[in-house]
Structure 1
Amino acid sequence: MSPRPRPLGASLPDTPATRTIAGVLTAALLGSILAPARKLGPDQGRVRDSFPFSHYPMFSARRKDHYWVTHLLGITADGQQRPLHYSYAGTGGLNAVRRQLRRRVNDGEGKRLARRAARRLASREHAEDRDIVEVHVVKGRYLIEPFMRGAGEEEFTSRLRVKGRAAVPGRGDASGRGDVPGRGDASSRSADEEVAR
């Protein structure tokens, strides 16, 4: 009996022994992938998740229907608002700046952060932000499902809490009073007000 021809691209001969080795390796790989399923029983909360035998909780965990995000909003002279780039709030990557912003706002530093962001915005002179006259540090409650299906901002933003505000130096503020000291500039107004949505 002549040996079987080797398939194109095969590095090992096709013999019963190599097929057995391939079968054992395949079974071991599939077993390691399926092993985390044993953690999905009634005592799921007590089982410690670990790589590589993971059930990937970042994808499989139950999610809330909303998410709180602390961020910057820019206000134009005619009262329109839009999110500002995170770099006005701090240096570093998006997630690092977001964590720092949330922590500092929770520590009561919203007004100070708004003033610093307003100064940065004034000094950078980005064309897309030239119409911004006031910066708000806000804590927003956003609904996940409407956001994921592409709904408008009015539909997925359920609540905004202003934690700090400041007029952009040299541009006035959204109410048209200007940034003249002693005339009710934006930085002297009370923070932590709820914005109706």
Structure 2
Amino acid sequence: MKSGGEVPGVGVRVFSVLLLVTVLSPVVQNFRAHPIDGFPLSYYPMFSKHRHGRTSLVHAVGRRADGTSIDLDCRFASTGGMNQARHKMNRMVKGGRSSVLAKTVARRVRRQGVAERERLVSIQIVRDTFVFDRFFAGDRTPEKRRVLGQRKLAREQGK
């Protein structure tokens, strides 16, 4: 009973039960062999999928003569937003065109003056593998780096 002595009406109780069933309904997907995603009560496994503690990322790196490097913005690889650029980079790597991608990035880095300002001697397209625990603890060093494509930057005459 409510503090005023009234029992909630049937409508309120039915609404509460329906709301509870609706909110909990996606849990059923946990027991299906092939879960079905149904917006707006999505089962999308973005946060629930086990990722084995590591992930890989394809990106462009500028190398200096002294061996140091800088990560280059993905927009050197493609016009558009980050997702579009990452998608294009992954597609080119899968298609065996990492060297073409490195050439494109090198041309844009040179054109925008980044190569000279940062004293870059080459561009590499790499696949870095990161360990989540280390990465989110502040260690941004990749566990593994694989060079997929490379392009040397030509020095301008007289410099």
TM-score bracket relative to the smaller structure: 0.7 to 0.9
Q: Is 1:161–2:149 an aligned residue pair?
A: no
Q: Mark the runs of 5 or more structure 2 residues left unpaired by the alignment.
A: none
Which of 23, 32, 56 does residue 22 from structure 2 map onto?
32
Q: Name the CA shift for 1:38/1:68 in 2 (closer, same or farther; >3 Å).
A: same
Displacement of 1:73 in angstroms is 0.6
Alignment partner of 2:39 out of 38, 51, 57? 51
CA contact (8 A) 2:60 2:73 kept: yes
SS where residue 47 of structure 2 aligns? helix
- What RMSD in Å do the two structures reach over aligned CA positions? 2.6
Counterpart position of 2:87: 99
Cα distance, 1:87–1:134 mapped onto 2, change above 3 Å: same
- Which ranges of 4 or more aligned residues in structure 1 deviate by more than 6 Å? none
Q: TM-score, normalised by structure 2?
A: 0.81
Shift of 1:94: 0.9
CA shift at 1:32, angstroms?
0.9
What's the TM-score once normalised by structure 1's chain length? 0.67
Q: Does 1:170 align with 2:155?
A: yes
> For this pair of structures, how many residues does the alignment match?
153
Query: Aligned partner of 1:168: which letter?
Result: L
CA-CA distance at 1:47 after TM superposition = 2.6
**How many angstroms apart in 2 are the aligned matches of 1:96 and 1:22?**
48
The structure with higher relative contact order (CA 8 Å, sep 6+) is: 2
1: distance between equivalents of 2:25 and 2:57? 36
Deviates more, 1:82-91 or 1:124-133: 124-133
Q: Deviations over 1:16-75 (max 9, x none)?
A: 78x54444333322221111112223xx33232222233341112222222121110111
Identity of aligned residues (%): 29
CA deviation map 1:82-126 (0-9, x unaligned):
210001111111111111111111212111111111111011124
In the alignment, what sits opposite 1:60?
A: 48
Higher radius of gyration, 1 or 2: 1
For 1:70 and 1:91, the matched residues in 2 are separated by 17
| Separation in 2, partners of 1:45, 1:62 | 16
Unaligned runs of 5+ in 1: 5-14, 173-197
